[in-house]
């Protein structure tokens, strides 16, 4: 049995006005200090004021939110007892909101003990809204939560299907001022999530459609949004692409680009989208070399995007080339070396990188599951930018 989870998606100009339709008394906003400083939180609280809904802001979410921060949020939400929780910001803030809302009903739960198969019934107390200020993680459409165990420098993937937000609001006013670097990093996450969701062994014809459109739109509109942040159409299309990619991989699974990228990001503290985008072409080559099924799916994507040439293999190669071209256009690193990591230090960390990648479920949801030796080779090739030919 499979399920497809999806929030009510509110999108386009003036989407924030949807808040005026909410039924409720108290909203707890989970965000970060920068979002407050930029005035984006005020755009939300102005709507809440007009809707006669009281609000409180918890703005202590840091990038890669720690378990301790979630516990602090749990204490604050316990005192406030809202009937709405709003995750406002990038993936970190939206993920944190999903974890904190569970502490509303289970205040003593250690956040890393959240179990996917358990039922928390937090909707008995409050509903969940997500308002993204980046176009990338798709967290506004997924149940996934990524937290950081700072003690062991590990990213932890958590969540239950309950954590899919009830409502996702995509108002272009929230992303128009996003800096180019964040536009590029988060946009590469869209591409990686959509491609990996499309070829995931947990994917299906139900999840395929949103992924395909997300890839096509990102190829067209991500460079435009990067080069001209004021391009409102490009911003809107990237908001749509991000949530479509979220629906696709969130209802299937990401793949090797994510498990290897997570490993690099966990050790070297590089933004998520940048690392997964970096590893995407290498891991695609690896899958193509061992799986005709995945090669055929890459070719389908290439045909849909109008970049196919010849048979499946050539078309899949054209897709990999397109991703490398896009990365160049966005000034993203094409190799680990480009990230400024020293070779000796990197080589010494390969066993740790391999171990982390092997412990990710996303390593197991692809058509060619790598062993230790293959992962070592993938990590080594990615340092110098060598193609994966095995």
Contact 178, 133 (CB under 8 A): yes
Classify 326 as helix, strand or coil.
Answer: helix
How near is the Cβ of 143 to Fe ion at its closest, in Å?
14
CB nearer Fe ion, residue 272 or residue 297: 272
> Where do we find the tokens 């301790």?
68
CB nearer Fe ion, residue 31 or residue 193: 193
CB nearer Fe ion, residue 193 or residue 239: 193
Count of residues for the chain? 390
Distance between CA atoms of residues 163 and 239, nearest Å:
20
Distance between CA atoms of residues 210 and 213, nearest Å:
5
Question: Pseudo-torsion of CA 279, 281, 287, 291, nearest 10°?
Answer: 160
How many Cβ atoms sit within 10 Å of the Cβ of residue 352?
A: 13
How near is the Cβ of 272 to Fe ion at its closest, in Å?
6
12 — alpha (psi -120 to 50), left (phi > 0) or beta? left
CB nearer Fe ion, residue 189 or residue 312: 189
CB nearer Fe ion, residue 193 or residue 207: 193
How near is the Cβ of 269 to Fe ion at its closest, in Å?
16
> Where do we find the tokens 């995407």?
280
- Nearest alpha-carbon partner for 196 in 143, 263, 249: 249
Chain residue whose CB lies nearest Fe ion: 189
How near is the Cβ of 241 to Fe ion at its closest, in Å?
13
How large is the angle between the packed helices 372-384 and 343-358, nearest 10 degrees? 140
CB nearer Fe ion, residue 189 or residue 360: 189
How many Cβ atoms sit within 10 Å of the Cβ of residue 372?
A: 12
Q: Are strands 127-132 and 145-149 parallel, antiparallel or unpaired?
A: unpaired
How near is the Cβ of 277 to Fe ion at its closest, in Å?
9
- The site for Fe ion (CB under 5 A) is made up of 189, 193
Q: Are strands 26-30 and 84-89 parallel, antiparallel or unpaired?
A: parallel
- The two tokens of residue 26 are 């108290």
């Amino acid at each position: 049995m499979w399920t497809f989870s999806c929030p009510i998606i509110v999108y386009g100009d003036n989407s924030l006005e949807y808040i005026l339709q909410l039924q409720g008394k108290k909203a707890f906003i989970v965000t970060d200090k920068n979002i407050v400083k930029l005035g984006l939180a005020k755009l939300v609280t102005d709507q809440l004021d007009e809707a006669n809904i009281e609000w409180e802001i918890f703005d202590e979410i840091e990038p890669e939110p720690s378990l301790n921060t979630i516990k602090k949020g749990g204490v604050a939400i316990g005192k406030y007892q809202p009937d709405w929780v709003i995750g406002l910001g990038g993936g970190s803030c939206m993920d944190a909101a999903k974890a904190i809302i569970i502490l509303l009903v289970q205040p003593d739960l250690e956040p890393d003990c959240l179990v996917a198969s358990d039922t928390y019934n937090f909707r008995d107390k409050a509903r969940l809204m997500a308002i993204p200020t980046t176009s990338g993680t798709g967290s506004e459409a997924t149940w996934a939560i990524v937290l950081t165990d700072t003690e062991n420098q590990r990213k932890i993937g958590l969540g239950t299907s309950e954590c899919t937000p009830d409502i996702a609001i995509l108002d272009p006013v929230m992303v128009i001022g996003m800096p180019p670097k964040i536009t590029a990093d988060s946009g590469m996450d869209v591409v990686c999530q959509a491609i990996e969701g499309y070829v995931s062994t947990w994917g299906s014809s139900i999840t395929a459609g949103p992924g395909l459109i997300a890839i096509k739109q990102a190829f067209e509109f991500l460079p435009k949004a990067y080069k001209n942040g004021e391009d409102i159409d490009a911003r809107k299309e990237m908001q749509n692409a991000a949530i479509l990619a979220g629906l696709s991989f969130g209802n299937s699974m990401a793949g090797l680009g994510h498990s290897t990228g997570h490993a690099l990001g966990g050790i070297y503290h590089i933004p998520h989208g940048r690392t997964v985008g970096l590893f995407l072409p290498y891991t695609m080559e690896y899958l193509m070399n061992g799986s005709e099924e995945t090669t055929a799916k890459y070719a389908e994507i290439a045909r849909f995007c109008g970049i196919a040439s010849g048979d499946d293999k050539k078309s899949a190669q054209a897709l990999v080339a397109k991703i490398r071209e896009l990365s160049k256009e966005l000034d993203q690193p094409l190799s680990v070396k480009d990230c400024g990591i020293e070779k000796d230090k990197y080589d010494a960390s390969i066993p740790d990188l391999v171990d982390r990648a092997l412990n990710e479920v996303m390593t197991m949801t692809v058509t060619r599951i790598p062993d230790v030796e293959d992962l070592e080779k993938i990590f080594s090739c990615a340092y110098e930018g060598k193609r994966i030919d095995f």
